[in-house]
């Protein structure tokens, strides 16, 4: 999620309209927009509109990296920190974090990639590694257990439960996501789940519940609905969440892994919450 380069006289500032092409080019270089349709809004638009999106600009005016955050309640989710491959090893990452993160002692969380340099950088900023976040994928033939019944819901209906499960209120973010093509909001007994269909892939999350069992049931139910439509399901779940074992036992594969890193333990209950990796 991070790399950096010597840059001479560089500045860090909020993204400007003229930077947008460079930001997207760096994002595509790191392949972080895979699964988002070309020409449609994506999480970078949300960070710019409802969060914070900052760029590191070299002395010649070239954008060489960016960082993005979204805040839910008092919890800041660092969603992005990416530096252009041409701009490695010179402090861009540190300067971006200095500018975009809240003061020391504030609640911060990120999903860190396996890049050890990134993990070491986050550790220096007070983020301590916790459990794994596994990226799971399963096809229609997966042997899913029985999930709870789902019904269509509104953001207003589930926003309070999401705030309790995810660690903070973010109704504006959820409304933005729900308005995208292919996104549906579902509610089940004691839980909620978002799904987004893109081609033959159904992205599941965020999801949450009053407890771990309720969250597990709505995620399994969403996966079963997708399987009935012959869709492949993509979902990211924490290692300690009961749904992770249920999905693996059903035949889902672990395709990648991040590490949950946080400024302190207990910012949210990872057993009753399944994130959307772009929204937090």
Q: For 44-56, what is each residue's pLDDT tens digit? A: 999 999 999 999 9
Angle value at C-alpha 192, between 186 and 198, nearest 5 degrees? 50
Q: Are residues 122 and 143 in the same domain?
A: no
Phi, psi dihedrals of residue 128, rounded to the nearest 5°: -100, 135
Q: Where are the beta strands (DSSP E) in 103-221?
A: 107-112, 128-138, 151-152, 183-188, 191-198, 201-209
- CA-nearest of 217, 210, 208, 254 to 234 is 254
Q: Give which of 143, 101, 144, 147 is closest to 124, Cα–Cα.
A: 101
Around Cβ 123, how many Cβ atoms within 10 Å?
A: 13
Please compute the mean of the pLDDT values over residues 2-6 and round it to a whole number: 39
120 with 151, same domain?
no
Q: Are the beta carbons of 87 and 4 closer than 8 angstroms?
A: yes
| 143, 251 contact by CB (below 8 A) | yes
Number of domains making up the chain: 2
Is residue 166 assigned to a domain? yes
Is residue 280 in a domain?
no
Query: With contact defined as beta carbons under 8 Å apart, do 147 and 153 qualify?
Result: no
Whether residue 126 is predicted with pLDDT greater than 90 in this model: the reply is: yes
- How long is the chain? 280
Query: Rounded to the nearest 10 degrees, what angle do helices 92-100 and 116-124 cross at?
Result: 40
Q: Are 45 and 25 in contact (CB under 8 A)?
A: no
Same domain, 185 and 145: yes
The answer on 100 and 149 residing in a single domain is: no
Beta carbons of 33 and 74 less than 8 angstroms apart: no
Whole-number pLDDT of residue 8:
52
Whether residues 121 and 141 fall in one domain? no
Using one digit for the tens of pLDDT, what is the confidence trace for 220-252?
A: 999 999 999 999 999 999 999 999 999 999 999
Question: For the domain that residue 113 is a member of, what is the CATH number?
Answer: 3.40.630.30
What average pLDDT does range 195-224 have in this prediction?
Answer: 97
One domain, residues 139 and 99? no
Do 180 and 222 lie in one domain? The reply is yes
The half-sphere exposure of 150 on its side-chain side, counting CA atoms within 13 A, is 29
Judge if 163 and 239 occupy the same domain: yes
Percent of the chain with pLDDT over 90: 81
- The tokens of 35 are what? 């699964």
Domain range holding 17?
Answer: 11-126
pLDDT > 90? residue 117: no
- What is the overall mean pLDDT for the chain? 93
């Amino acid at each position: 999620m991070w790399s950096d380069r010597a840059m001479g006289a560089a500045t860090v500032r909020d993204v400007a309209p003229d930077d947008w092409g460079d930001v997207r080019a760096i994002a595509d270089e790191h392949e972080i927009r895979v699964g988002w349709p070309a020409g449609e809004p994506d999480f970078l638009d949300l960070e710019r509109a409802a969060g914070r999106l900052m760029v590191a600009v070299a002395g010649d005016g070239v954008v060489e990296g960016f960082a993005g955050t979204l805040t839910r309640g008092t919890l800041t989710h660092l969603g992005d920190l990416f530096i252009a491959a041409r701009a490695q090893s010179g402090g861009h990452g540190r300067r971006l974090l200095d500018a975009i993160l809240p003061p020391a002692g504030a609640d911060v969380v990120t999903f860190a990639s396996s890049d050890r340099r990134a993990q070491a950088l986050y550790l220096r900023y007070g983020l301590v590694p916790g459990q794994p976040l596994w990226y799971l994928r399963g096809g229609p033939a997966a042997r899913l257990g029985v999930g709870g019944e789902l019904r269509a819901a509104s953001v207003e209906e589930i926003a309070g439960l999401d705030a309790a499960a995810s660690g903070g209120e973010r109704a504006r973010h959820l409304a933005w996501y729900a308005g995208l093509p292919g996104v549906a909001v579902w509610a089940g007994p004691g839980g909620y789940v978002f799904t987004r269909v893109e081609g033959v892939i159904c992205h599941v999350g965020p999801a949450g519940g009053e407890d771990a069992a309720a969250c597990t049931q709505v995620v399994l139910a969403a996966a079963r609905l997708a399987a009935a439509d012959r869709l492949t399901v993509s979902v990211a779940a924490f290692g300690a969440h009961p749904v992770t074992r249920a999905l693996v036992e059903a035949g889902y594969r672990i395709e990648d892994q991040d590490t949950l890193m946080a400024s302190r333990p207990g910012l949210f209950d990872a057993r009753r919450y399944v994130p959307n990796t772009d929204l937090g």
